[in-house]
């Protein structure tokens, strides 16, 4: 098969491309390298089954030209990370909603299978544990920029599902819960690469808020496996599906674990949310996925545990530091 992967030079996208090529498919990447990096896919460029196009998903003509010959589209291009959405909200909202509209229009026009990666942010301020797909999303105030990410991604889901309802376009909307692994950069706020970088360089490990908030982290290899299987599962068409790992850890415990794993002398420093993000910032206290639907549809169960994730990220960051030195 021939897949178009938008955002294929990003952290998750590049792992997806490697997997699809390993499975014997042809892959075209469309990426503007805004948050992705050529280094993530440079090693694939000699492969005759791989093609890279550097352009934005907001370029409608380019998107149509690339969607037409593909059998299916993985739409991963998006603004990433809470930090980026707060710092560049206009660009973030336009990229998320405008990009999805354009790529979906093309998928609808040429009748292509379409997967868009959504996010557990969509659950917003909900406090249910665990979150399942049909739970209410609890919207935060529009004055708080963080919630723009949830709102824009929710609109992506609405639009994709609308295409399924109106014309049975085969769409799938996996909601990813904190995906982590090699190549993820801490530049856009992601906590694990940030803590690992801080620990390795001996800088303070910056825990935002009181650190009692928790997250569930899923290895990118488990996520990619789920994305591939979802596009092959007819019962997943027209559905939102949680993908993540139920193993939960507080951010305080995460900081301690990374400090001890790296043998770091870094102090752990608590920073108020207002200073770390913006005035009035609201965090999600817990975010645990209910994986019943993913298990039923594709037999999904994450194989890698938090220790595997941390070992991989520490190895990756150590390599990057040696390489950059
Ligand atoms: N966080 C932190 N220190 C950092 C970056 C993030 O304590 O340097 C916290 C953040 O406030 C949140 C959690 O770690 O409670 C996960 O943040 P991330 O941006 O990785 O993902 P989110 O779940 O917020 O989308």
- Centre of ligand 1 from the C-alpha of residue 44, in Å: 31
Per-residue pLDDT at 325: 47
User: Which residues make Cβ contacts (< 8 Å) with residue 108, sequence separation at least 6?
Assistant: 163, 167, 169
pLDDT beyond 80 at 22: yes
Residues in the chain, overall count: 325
Reported as a pLDDT band with limits 50, 70 and 90, residue 77 is very high
CA angle 37, 39, 41 (to 5 degrees): 90
Decide: 298 and 251 in contact? Cβ < 8 Å: no
Tens-place pLDDT, residues 275-295: 998 888 889 999 999 999 999
Q: Say if strands 214-216 and 248-250 run parallel, antiparallel, or are unpaired.
A: antiparallel
Hey, what long-range contacts does 161-166 have (CB within 8 A, 24 or more apart)?
A: 161/238, 161/240, 163/104, 163/107, 163/108, 163/114, 164/237, 164/238, 165/238
d(CA 233, CA 322): 42
Reported as a pLDDT band with limits 50, 70 and 90, residue 84 is confident
pLDDT beyond 90 at 37: yes
Where does residue 166 rank: exposed (0-12), middle (13-18), buried (19+ CB within 10 A)? exposed
Where does residue 246 rank: exposed (0-12), middle (13-18), buried (19+ CB within 10 A)? middle
Reported as a pLDDT band with limits 50, 70 and 90, residue 82 is confident
Q: What is the DSSP string of 199-262?
A: HHHTPPEEEETTS--EEE-EEHHHHHHHHHHHHT-GGGTTEEEEE----EEEHHHHHHHHHHHH
Residue whose CB lies within 8 A of the most ligand 1 atoms, among 80, 152, 191, 248, for a mutation test: 191
d(CA 50, CA 65): 16
- Centre of ligand 1 from the C-alpha of residue 230, in Å: 28
Pocket, ligand 1, Cβ cutoff 6 A: 81-82, 178, 189-191, 194, 206-208, 213, 215, 251, 283
- Give nearest CA residue, ligand 1 atom 5: 191
CATH assignment of 2-179+220-245+288-303, among 3.40.228.10, 2.60.40.420, 3.40.50.720, 3.40.50.2000: 3.40.50.720
User: Which residues make Cβ contacts (< 8 Å) with residue 263, sequence separation at least 6?
Assistant: none
Tens-place pLDDT, residues 180-237: 999 998 888 899 999 999 999 999 999 999 999 999 999 999 999 999 999 999 999 9
d(CA 39, CA 60): 26
Decide: 223 and 179 in contact? Cβ < 8 Å: yes
Reported as a pLDDT band with limits 50, 70 and 90, residue 324 is low
Q: Say if strands 2-6 and 26-31 run parallel, antiparallel, or are unpaired.
A: parallel
d(CA 142, CA 151): 9
- Centre of ligand 1 from the C-alpha of residue 72, in Å: 33
d(CA 69, CA 63): 11
Q: What is the mean pLDDT of the chain?
A: 96
d(CA 104, CA 171): 9
pLDDT beyond 70 at 323: no
pTM (two decimals): 0.97
Query: What H or E segment, with its residue span, contains residue 3?
Result: strand 2-6
Of the residues 149, 188, 208, 277, only one is catalytic, namely 149
Tell me the average pLDDT across 139-144: 92
Alpha carbons within 13 A on the beta-carbon side of 40: 25
User: Which residues make Cβ contacts (< 8 Å) with residue 254, sequence separation at least 6?
Assistant: 191, 192, 195, 215
Report which of residues 80 and 250 the model is more confident about: 250
Q: Is 149 a catalytic residue?
A: yes
d(CA 97, CA 60): 13
């Amino acid at each position: 098969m021939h897949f178009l992967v938008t955002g294929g030079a990003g952290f998750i996208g590049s792992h997806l491309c490697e997997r699809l090529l390993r499975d014997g498919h042809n892959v075209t990447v469309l990426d503007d390298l805004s948050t992705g990096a050529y280094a993530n896919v440079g090693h694939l460029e000699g492969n005759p089954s791989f093609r890279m196009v550097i352009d934005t998903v907001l370029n409608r003509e380019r998107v149509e030209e690339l969607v037409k010959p593909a059998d299916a589209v993985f739409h991963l291009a998006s603004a990433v990370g809470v930090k980026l959405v707060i710092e560049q909200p206009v660009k973030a909202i336009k990229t998320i909603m405008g990009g999805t509209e354009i790529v979906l229009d093309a998928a609808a026009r040429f009748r292509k299978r379409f997967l868009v990666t959504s996010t557990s942010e969509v659950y917003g301020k909900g406090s249910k544990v665990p979150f399942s797909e049909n739970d209410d999303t609890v919207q935060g105030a529009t004055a708080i920029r963080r919630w723009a990410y949830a709102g824009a991604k929710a609109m992506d889901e609405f639009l994709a599902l609308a295409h399924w309802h109106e014309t049975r376009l085969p769409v799938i909307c996996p909601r990813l819960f904190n995906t982590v692994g090699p190549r993820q950069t801490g530049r856009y706020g992601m906590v694990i690469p940030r803590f690992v970088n801080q620990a390795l360089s001996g800088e303070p490990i910056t825990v935002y808020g009181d650190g009692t908030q928790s997250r569930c982290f899923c290895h990118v290899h488990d996520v990619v496996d789920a994305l591939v299987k979802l596009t092959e599962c007819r019962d997943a068409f027209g559905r939102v599906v949680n993908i993540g790992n139920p193993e939960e850890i507080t951010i305080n415990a995460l900081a301690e674990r990374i400090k001890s794993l790296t043998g770091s002398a870094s102090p752990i420093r608590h920073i108020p949310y207002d200073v770390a993000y913006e005035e009035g910032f609201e965090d999600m206290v817990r975010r645990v996925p209910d994986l019943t639907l993913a298990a039923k549809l594709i037999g999904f169960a994450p194989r890698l545990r938090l220790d595997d994730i941390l070992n991989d990220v520490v190895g990756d960051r150590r390599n990057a530091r040696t390489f950059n030195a």
